[in-house]
Amino acid sequence: MNPLRSLKNKALSDPAVKAEYDALAPEFRLIKTLLAMRETAGLTQLQVAERMGTKEANISRLEKGNGNPTLKTLAKYAHACGCELEFMFRRL
């Protein structure tokens, strides 16, 4: 097992840390979706930024989960990648 995974597993053995980590799951899913969209489209961060009319640094921050993007920003990102933003709600 690599050292990073070992450290993560050790940290997640603490119930308080695990609860905080689990609470971030929706953000992690969003980041994974953004990256997959861009990679499927075969685009670089710079190309997405140019299509959105923004800076590459903004795309980098978005894909790292830094910030709080608006729905408009997410829709523009999706469109730049040849996709459409769609939401779904489900009962817990």
Q: Where are the domains of the chain?
A: 17-80
Q: Residue 2: what pLDDT? A: 86
Q: Give the tens place of pLDDT for each residue, 26-64.
A: 999 999 999 999 999 999 999 999 999 999 999 999 999
CATH number of 17-80: 1.10.260.40
pTM summary value: 0.84
Give the pLDDT band of residue 92 (cuts 50, 70, 90).
confident
The interaxial angle of helices 56-64 and 71-80, nearest 10 deg, is 110
Contact 62, 75 (CB under 8 A): no
Percent of the chain that is helix, strand, coil (3-state, to 5): 70, 0, 30
pLDDT at 1 over 80: no
CA distance 41 to 7: 34
